[in-house]
Amino acid sequence: LNFREGNYETALRHLKNASEQMRDPTILDHLGDCYSILGDSASAATHYSQALELDPGNRNIQKKLKSNQ
């Protein structure tokens, strides 16, 4: 919800916390989205790569990774 409302810093904090609790490709994908929007392409690419390790066939994440490398 924070992400959709444009509260990216708050969303980032919540997603970081969630990613520490479990490795989930959706959480990692959303972390990548937050970092990308905040202009941190390197961190975005790192999290998209981690998401792809868990969900290697996800074409949407593959596209996001290519655009942040």
pLDDT at residue 20 in the model: 95
pLDDT at residue 39 in the model: 95
Note the pLDDT tens digit of each residue in 25-34: 999 999 999 9
Note the pLDDT tens digit of each residue in 34-67: 999 999 999 999 999 999 999 999 999 999 999 9
HEC per residue, the chain: CCCCCCCHHHHHHHHHHHHHHCCCHHHHHHHHHHHHHCCCHHHHHHHHHHHHHHCCCCHHHHHHHHHCC
Instruction: State the pTM of this model.
Output: 0.91
Structure confidence at residue 2 as a pLDDT band (50, 70, 90): confident
